[in-house]
Amino acid sequence: MKKIVIIGIIILLLLPIFTAADMKHEEIDILSNILEDFQGEFVEGDIVFNGMILDEFIGQDQMDKIGREVVKELNIVGKEIDPYISQKLIGDYYAKEIIFEEDFSQINYYGYDKEKNQISINLNSYFNSEEKKGETYLCINIVKDDDFSKINDIIDRVESIFVKYNTDMEMTSCIIGSIDGKVSQKNMTNKVHKALKNIKGDRIDKYSDDALLSYTVYTPYIDSHMLINEEKINLNIAIRYNEYENKTYLWIGTPIITTGY
């Protein structure tokens, strides 16, 4: 089961692979502009980086070595702790979880960098006994709760890690915003249509119920895309009302939303 979950997380069929330059200058601006079209307030931005860094299974010593290098490269601050001992992280500590078995190794890190960006690192390696083949994957998730346009330096640091292993890096991104109060579905639908018109967006799919409104879109303004049922998609918009906070939340992601909503 664990291997199925891992494969589901790390395999995103993006065609072509995202590049850091595209992300910096085009995609973040597009997501931000869509949020402005909704007249929404920025809450946080989320980026996930994935890639296979080694075509072999590695054990504890090598996993620890790679993990320490990634933590250092991303400027994660504080002392290492066991998350089951303390939940205090910001500035003082970062957490480390480990799993080591005969054919499966995993290290997870959770912490913050010097700019107080929340960072999680998932490093996992497995061996397929039937195929006599092993692989090692790296997944990095960065959450920024202030100006998302200032994410460029972090992207550069992450890119340098994958370049070191001479491997392609896949990237997904999402901006979360909010609007005070409950916006009617009719009003929100009009806002979606206006936002899609501004980016020449082609609606591929739509889902709605009493609580959620979700759109799957293709826009020529974003070069990268993925294929679902032979349809190109590269933009995902989800809208949900939170009655406890009396706010309408928006998730705007490319090529799909990978965070929970």
3-state secondary structure of 69: helix
pLDDT of amino acid 147: 72
In a domain, 33, yes or no: no
pLDDT score at 18: 45
Number of domains observed in the structure of the chain: 1
Supply the pTM of this predicted model: 0.82
CATH code of the domain in which 76 resides: 3.30.310
User: pLDDT value at position 1?
Assistant: 41
- Asked if residue 165 is part of any domain, the answer here is yes
> Is 118 part of any domain?
yes
* Residue 176 within a domain: no
137 part of a folded domain: yes
pLDDT score at 229: 83
Rounded to whole angstroms, how far apart are CA atoms 55 and 106? 15
CB 162 within 8 A of CB 51: yes
CA distances from 184 to 1, 157, 195, 212 (A): 41, 42, 17, 11
The parent domain of residue 144 ranges over 47-169
Instruction: Look at residue 71 and tell me if it is in a domain.
Output: yes
**Kind plus residue range of the DSSP H or E element containing 208:** strand 202-208
pLDDT tens-place string over residues 2-35: 443 343 444 343 334 444 544 544 788 899 999 9
For residue 87, what pLDDT is reported?
57
Segments of the chain with pLDDT less than 70: 1-25, 83-91, 149
Residue pair 222/235 in contact by the 8 Å Cβ criterion: yes
| Residues 56-93 pLDDT 10s | 999 889 999 999 999 999 999 988 877 665 555 566 78
Q: Is residue 198 part of a domain?
A: no
Q: How far apart are CA 159 and CA 195, in angstroms?
A: 31
- Say what the pLDDT of residue 140 is: 96
Asked whether residue 206 is assigned to any structural domain, the reply reads no
